Amino acid sequence: MALIYIEQVEDMNVEEMQKTHENEIKILNAIDNLAISYDRREATLEELEKKIDEYVKHVHVHFANEERLMKEYDFPSYDMHKTAHDMFLEELQHAIKYWKRYEDITKITNFVRRTPEWIVLHVNTVDLPTSNYLAKKMNQK
C-alpha cells in the first residue's frame, strides 16, 4: 500500500506541474517504504536520509518553479499561493531541524507521512486553478 496515489490529485493542464507532482508522490512513497524497511533493519539510515534529502531538494525546486511560472504569467493569486508554499516550507524546516538536532529520524518521517493530506488539498484546490490559468495564458502566446 502506498502513502499517496497520483489518482488522489487532479491532473494539471501544465505538463511540468503534472510531472513534478508525479515525481513528488514517488519520492514520498519511497521514503515511507524505506522508513518501514529501516524499522525492520532491512534498509540503512543512510539510504533513508538520502531519500529524505532528495525530497527536500525536490520540494524547493517544485515550489520555485511554480512561483516562477506564476510570476511569468502574472497569476493574480500569486501571493496566496506563495504563502501556502512558505508555510509548508517552514514546517518542513522545523521537522528537519528537530531531526538533525536530536538525531531522531522519526520526526522527519512522521512529517513526511502527514504530507499527503496537505498535498491532496493543495494540489486540488490551489495548484489546479493555477494550472488552468497558466495553461490558458501559455496557449495565448
In a domain, 1, yes or no: no
As a whole number of angstroms, the distance between CA 16 and CA 46 comes to 30
Confidence of residue 1 (pLDDT cuts 50, 70, 90): confident
Q: What is the pLDDT of residues 41-60, one digit of tens each?
A: 999 999 999 999 999 999 99
In a domain, 3, yes or no: no
Q: Domain residues for 17?
A: 12-140
pTM of the model: 0.94
In a domain, 4, yes or no: no
C-alpha distances (whole Å) from 56 to each of 7, 107, 135, 136 are 23, 14, 27, 30
